[in-house]
Amino acid sequence: MRALILGACFAAVTIPEALAWGGDNHRVICGIAWEETTPNARAKISEILDQDGRDAFAESCLWADSYRDEGHRETEGWHYVNVPAGATVIDIARDCQEPASCALIQIARTTAVLQGKAPLPEKAMALKFLAHFAGDIHQPLHAGHAEDRRGGTFKGTFLGQPYDFHWLWDDGLTTALHRPWRDVANELRVKTTQAQRRAWLKSVPLDWANESLALANSPGVDYADHGKPFELGADYQQKQLPVIYDRLSRAGVRLGGLLTQALDSNVSK
């Protein structure tokens, strides 16, 4: 009976399609990354984007979603990695084939553009893509299954509001807290230890994606168990918030490292 009731609710409510961390989560990641880069890298970011400051950079990190939604659907597959059901590791040759590609391929491509001699408009596009995709690949359900749209076909409610499971992880679990993104970014950065920074910066994007896949497959996230209508509340939120905040912290530190290596010639040599 509960499934029938939820099904009837979803017949009357349209849930927006979500393919990336919610806007504030991307702002958190890029707010952390801005502070994690060197002054030289920050100056280069400002030059490329023709705007200055952490807030301006954080806003630019949302651009890739708008670009996709404004008619560039060819970029949709760049935001995630699809893996076969049952996969426990990502195989780039299997999971990132053209023309769809995947976030890992695009992170490598856009990093190369930033390191090269491309004109500023091309570098600006590459920078905005890179900052967004480096964040996306840390969302656990961005390493999921094409057949269920990485949890997007799983319908239910969270705190009584309609969600699909992917959108819940993109946005719902954090926006329900109504916390300003700057406060979250500052708090997470202060709590990050130097030992964590060193460990996280030793990894590569494939590692980040495999971390997400391991979380998606874990009993804690319960991605595999939400194929039927779900009802989730504060208990699930409190259980998952430490996971989400850890992913946002890692993404910010790692993006800061990528941008420093790509844009600060004193460091990249």
Q: How confident is the model at residue 20 (pLDDT cuts 50, 70, 90)?
A: low
The answer to whether residue 155 scores a pLDDT higher than 90 is yes
SS (H, E, C) 78-122: HHCEECCCCCCCCCHHHHCCCCCCCHHHHHHHHHHHHHCCCCHHH
Residue 34 pLDDT > 90: yes
Check whether 162 has a pLDDT greater than 80.
Answer: yes
Q: What are phi and psi of 226, to 5 degrees?
A: -110, 35
What pLDDT is attached to residue 33? 98
22-48 burial code (b ≥16 CB/10 A, e <16): bbbbbbbbbbbbbebbbeebbebbeeb
Q: What is the structure's pLDDT at 17?
A: 45
Provide mean pLDDT across the span 32-49: 97
Average pLDDT over residues 248-258: 98
Question: With bands split at pLDDT 50, 70 and 90, how would you rate the model's confidence at 268?
Answer: low
Is pLDDT above 90 for 21? no
- Domains detected in the chain: 2-268 (1.10.575.10)
* 69-96 mean pLDDT: 96
Q: Given a cut of 90, is residue 31 above it in pLDDT?
A: yes
Q: Tell me the per-residue pLDDT of 84-102, one tens digit each, with 9 for 90 and over.
A: 999 999 999 999 998 889 9
The overall pTM is greater than 0.75: yes
pLDDT at 8 over 70: no
